[in-house]
């Protein structure tokens, strides 16, 4: 398994990584992002050289976190009827185009905007840098910062035969986007009909409904029918329609290109350390604790079975050191992902043993944060051998979280 570059450990990072009862330090409620000083030691220098400018660090890993009044629309209520005026405006367009105009039309920004566009699955470090540029430019020009995101993922709509798993749920994505300081968040429902809109038509909608005056995108960005709206086309459209266009270079960490595809690959390999580097935060899964077969209880290690949305990417089967978050509390834990081969149980499950914890948490929402992979899932010859390995896994988890 390819490992991510090792990062220098700072004193305050011990608690960030989820120290348990080491020196009586509690697990913090929210792990901080990897400090910008650590990023500058490798990736930040490379990014600065590529872009020809110095990246301004944000306090405590945040990105322009001054509170702002934010506009956000996530979906159109099914019982909303178009007025005659709206129907005339759309000119008998398809339901999907009508939906897109309705979704954009609900936002009504009070000032001109600086926008970026994309899926932003996972809101990784590359996304964060791009969004930071949008926020900073908007503040410099007294405009609002905005992002247009799509759901479902265009690939799942245009190529449903190709499996696609999300790094984050749409709810988590919207929260992560909001946390960047973006003022206006527009989630458009992606469809084949929306994909058939020309680049010029889409730009016209952004100017009409979101008051776009500047667009900031990456070098491989394209929008519109058949990806016709590439960078060259957008440059021509910017001259014709009077908006500014800025192209941001790709973001890399050593030899790693920061991308949602790269994050998904790291997750599929079980390399949660690399995923954390690319995301700028721990990889996490959120779901409801459900009743399992309660076999762990009979072994002396009761586990919480997490119900995870089927469209989310799961790390490769194996045993992981994790931090389990329940409301305001956080607990050290060991998580098993897999088919439980010792018992020939069949279906893939996410089971977590929370260290030094007693209590009934069925029905509660729990978030798992992945710290490190311990080992592969194994089939044991006896229950005693399995229990002995679980004890060893628990001690290994304590050591990882205490270092």
Q: Flag whether pLDDT at 332 surpasses 70.
A: yes
pLDDT of residue 71: 58
Contact (CB, 8 A) for 271 and 4: yes
Domain boundaries, the chain: 31-253, 283-402
Query: Mean pLDDT, to the nearest integer, of 157-161?
Result: 94
pLDDT on residue 254:
72
Per-residue pLDDT band at 369 (split at 50, 70, 90): very high
Q: First vs last Cα of the chain: how many Å apart?
A: 22
The span from the CA of 14 to the CA of 330, in Å, is 15
- Give pLDDT, residue 97: 74
Q: Which CATH number fits domain 283-402: 1.10.10.10, 2.40.50.100, 3.30.420.40, 2.40.30.30?
A: 2.40.30.30
* DSSP per residue, 227-253: G-B-HHHHHHHHHHHT-EEEEPPP-EE
- Calculate mean pLDDT across residues 279-285: 97
Structure token digits, residue 313: 């990417």
> Tens of pLDDT along 74-83?
443 333 223 3
> Using CA atoms, how far apart are residues 402 and 21, in angstroms rounded to an integer?
8
For the chain, the average pLDDT equals 81
E-only strand ranges, 235-380: 244-247, 252-253, 256-257, 284-290, 304-307, 318-326, 329-338, 349-354, 365-375
Q: Among 57-66, 132-141, 213-222, 360-369, name the one with the lowest average pLDDT.
A: 57-66
In the predicted model, what is the mean pLDDT of residues 342-368? 90
31-253 shares its CATH topology with 283-402: no
DSSP β-bridge partners for residue 166? 312
Going by pLDDT thresholds of 50, 70 and 90, the confidence category of residue 255 is: confident
3-state helix, strand, coil in the chain (%, to 5): 35, 20, 40
* 31-253 has CATH 3.20.20.70 classification: no
- pLDDT tens by residue, 121-146: 999 999 999 999 999 999 999 999 99
What pLDDT does 345 receive?
Answer: 65
Residues linked to residue 319 through DSSP beta bridges, in sequence order? 336, 375
């Amino acid at each position: 398994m390819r490992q991510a570059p090792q990062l220098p450990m700072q004193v305050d990072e011990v608690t960030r990584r989820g120290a348990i009862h080491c020196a009586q330090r509690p697990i913090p409620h929210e792990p901080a992002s990897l400090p910008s000083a650590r990023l500058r030691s490798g990736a930040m220098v490379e990014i600065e050289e590529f872009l020809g400018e110095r990246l301004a660090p944000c306090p405590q890993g945040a990105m322009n976190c001054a509170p702002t009044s934010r506009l956000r629309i996530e979906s159109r209520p099914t019982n909303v009827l178009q007025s005659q005026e709206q129907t005339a405006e759309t000119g008998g367009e398809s339901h999907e185009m009508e939906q897109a105009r309705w979704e954009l039309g609900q936002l009504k920004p009070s000032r001109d905007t600086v926008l970026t566009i994309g899926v932003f699955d996972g809101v990784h470090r590359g996304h964060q840098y791009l969004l930071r540029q949008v926020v900073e430019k908007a503040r410099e020009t007294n405009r609002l910062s905005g992002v247009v995101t799509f759901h479902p993922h265009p690939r799942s709509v245009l190529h449903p035969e190709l499996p696609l798993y999300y790094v984050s749920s749409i709810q988590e994505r919207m929260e992560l986007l909001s946390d960047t300081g973006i003022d206006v968040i527009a989630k458009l429902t992606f469809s084949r009909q929306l994909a058939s809109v020309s680049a010029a038509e889409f730009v016209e909608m952004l100017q009409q409904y979101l008051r776009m005056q500047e667009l900031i995108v990456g070098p491989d960005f394209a929008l519109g029918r058949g990806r016709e709206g590439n960078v060259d086309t957008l440059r021509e459209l910017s001259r014709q329609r009077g908006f500014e266009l800025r192209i941001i270079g790709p973001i890399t960490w050593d030899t790693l290109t920061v991308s949602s595809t790269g994050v998904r690959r790291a997750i599929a390999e079980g390399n949660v350390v690399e995923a954390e580097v690319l995301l700028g935060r721990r990889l996490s899964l959120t779901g409801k604790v459900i009743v399992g077969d309660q076999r762990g209880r009979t072994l002396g290690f009761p586990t919480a079975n997490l119900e995870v949305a089927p469209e989310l990417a799961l790390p490769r089967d194996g045993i992981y050191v994790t931090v389990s978050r329940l409301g305001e509390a956080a607990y050290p834990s060991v998580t098993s992902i897999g088919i439980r081969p010792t018992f020939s149980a069949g279906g893939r499950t996410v089971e977590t043993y929370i260290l030094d914890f007693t209590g009934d948490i069925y029905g509660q929402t729990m978030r798992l944060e992945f710290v490190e992979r311990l080992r592969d899932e194994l089939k044991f010859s006896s229950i005693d051998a399995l229990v002995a390995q679980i004890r060893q896994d628990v001690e290994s988890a304590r050591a990882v979280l205490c270092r």
